[in-house]
Amino acid sequence: MENGLRQRFLNGSEEEKPEENLKVKVYDESKKIWRVALPGILSRVASFGSIVVTQSFVGHISELDLAGYALVQTLTVRFVNGILIGMSSATETLCGQAYGAGQYHMMGVYLQRSWIVDFITLTVLLPFFIFATPIFRLLGEESSIATSAGYVSYWFIPFIYNFVFSLTIQMFLQAQQKNRIIAWLSVMQFIIHIPLSWLLVYKLDYGVPGAMIALSISSWLVVIGEFIYILGGWCPETWKGFSMAAFKDIFPVVKLSISSGIMVCLELWYNAVLVLLAGYMKNAEVAISAFSICLNINGWEFMISLGFLGAACVRIANELGRGDAKAARFSIKVLVSTSLIIGVVFFVLCLVFGSKIGYLFTNEQEVADSVADLSLLLSFSVLLNSIYPVLSGVAVGAGLQSTVAIINLCCFYLIGIPIGALLGYVAHLQVKGIWIGMICGVVTQSAALCYMTWRTDWDEEVFKAQQRLKRWYMKSSEVTHQNPS
């Protein structure tokens, strides 16, 4: 009998071992994820928070300026930012896989290539800011709103050029798990931005220009800090100095950047098109202002999801670069589970405080009431934010951007927008109908990404990653030879 008890005890211990091993694996993977995700979340929440704070200051100046700012920030800036984030995500793929494969010296070359590509891209897109008023009039927006938007648009130009460096440097540091510095810089930016905005808008009475100047100054402080960190010797293995090697093999990088750009743009432009549709509603100023406030709240929470997107990209790219498909699959499960738990928490918060949010951005009761009316839909959007960005990050880490671009095109533009237009205009649900259409697009996209992730052969993706790294690999001597510094 004693032997039987001993045997049952041993069997029980053996049964518990897999569970204990699973707990250890989840804990270890969670540490790796949060090491990347937490600084990414802090930096994105703080950076986007500066844009939201600026909107709040502008909104308390006048309702017309709020509508003009909302139009530019949600349409033009989101349009350009989408392209640059997409183009920069090629850096995320290449740096993550290079770090996983131990090709550290190539990361600085990839970073410099991304600067060249992004700077040229942004300069080509400048006419969207310079000719904002006629563009918005051509799109059928009210003349007064289009004029206000055109004025605000000029002030955004100094601000948007920080994206060329801030986005790519963040991805470069994130790939090597050194993005803690970005979190500190971004938090410092947010802390400085609020009193600086108050000083320029109210104390010096600069109005809208004061709010925009504060936004540009605080955002460029982050870029300066990032350059000091990289050039000051804190990345000795991955930054070997400026090199002419950055101009070599730039066209394959452009090709990957374009597919990345299309993937992200189709996602970010989706909200922009919906704001444009809101501009054709009755009482357009209220519709645009309320919708953009909700989208900015959604976007602010979305920055948390982008932190997990970055973590997903880094973890998947690192494991594929190392050649470990099993670890990549396990990381996906932990990432999605963690993000979903956080999404549920914010879903509940939006339900509880949804009726009060509007007054943070405006004194107009009509706008605030419209925001409260959209709070239920905002809650569901926040919940969905916890799924599809993580799976998009998985795709970026694996270099599957072109597949996700097709999914985004079908789900957002063939399903979401048509349903939103029908409900908004034909069913007379106005802005609420547009948002329901947006949610329909996001639900179908999330389902498609889940299916794509489940069906992906991760062993095959390991092989593709190895081939890509071999094709663009340069010896350390080849890089430093062209840059004697």
| Residues 334-365 pLDDT 10s | 999 998 998 899 888 888 876 777 777 766 77
Please give the pLDDT value at position 357. 74
Please give the pLDDT value at position 83. 80
Structure tokens at 334: 């932990």
Q: How far apart are CA 194 and CA 196, in angstroms?
A: 5
Check whether 12 has a pLDDT greater than 70: no
- DSSP secondary-structure letter at 232? I
Q: How far apart are CA 419 and CA 274, in angstroms?
A: 11
Check whether 256 has a pLDDT greater than 90: no
Top mean-pLDDT range of 114-123, 153-162, 409-418, 422-431:
153-162
Cβ(43)–Cβ(189) below 8 Å: no
Q: 6 falls in which pLDDT band (50, 70, 90)?
A: very low
Q: What is the pTM of this model?
A: 0.72
307 against 484, higher pLDDT: 307
Q: 231 falls in which pLDDT band (50, 70, 90)?
A: very high
Please give the pLDDT value at position 1. 46
- Residues 6+ positions from 365 with CB-CB distance below 8 Å: none
Please give the pLDDT value at position 218. 93
Tally of CB atoms within 10 A around 444: 18
Please give the pLDDT value at position 290. 75
Please give the pLDDT value at position 211. 93
Q: Which of 305, 98, 65, 403 is nearest to 209 (CA)?
A: 65
Q: pLDDT per residue over 371-387, tens digit each?
A: 788 888 888 888 888 88
Lowest mean pLDDT among 41-45, 291-295, 386-390: 291-295
* Mean pLDDT of the residues in the chain: 81
Start-to-end Cα distance in the chain: 77
Cβ(435)–Cβ(274) below 8 Å: yes
Q: How far apart are CA 74 and CA 465, in angstroms?
A: 35
Check whether 42 has a pLDDT greater than 80: yes
Please give the pLDDT value at position 14. 42
Q: 227 falls in which pLDDT band (50, 70, 90)?
A: very high
- DSSP secondary-structure letter at 235? -
74 against 161, higher pLDDT: 161
Top mean-pLDDT range of 153-162, 429-438, 453-462:
153-162
Lowest mean pLDDT among 71-80, 99-108, 171-180, 273-282: 273-282
Please give the pLDDT value at position 263. 64
Top mean-pLDDT range of 178-187, 261-270, 355-364:
178-187
Q: How far apart are CA 252 and CA 256, in angstroms?
A: 6
Please give the pLDDT value at position 344. 92
Q: Which of 300, 172, 158, 159 is nearest to 226 (CA)?
A: 172
C-alpha to C-alpha distances, 212 to 51, 207, 297, 426, nearest whole angstrom? 9, 9, 20, 38
Check whether 278 has a pLDDT greater than 70: no
Please give the pLDDT value at position 151. 92
- % pLDDT > 90, the chain: 19
Q: 441 falls in which pLDDT band (50, 70, 90)?
A: confident
Check whether 8 has a pLDDT greater than 50: no
Domain boundaries along the sequence of the chain: 33-477
Please give the pLDDT value at position 257. 66
Please give the pLDDT value at position 261. 64
Check whether 9 has a pLDDT greater than 60: no
Please give the pLDDT value at position 266. 66
Check whether 87 has a pLDDT greater than 80: no
Q: 171 falls in which pLDDT band (50, 70, 90)?
A: confident
Check whether 484 has a pLDDT greater than 70: no
Average pLDDT over residues 123-134: 93
Top mean-pLDDT range of 96-105, 350-359, 414-423:
414-423
Check whether 159 has a pLDDT greater than 80: yes
**Burial state string for 348-368 with b = 16 or more CB within 10 A and e = fewer than 16:** eebeeebeebbeebbebeebb
Q: 35 falls in which pLDDT band (50, 70, 90)?
A: confident
Check whether 481 has a pLDDT greater than 50: no
- % pLDDT > 70, the chain: 84
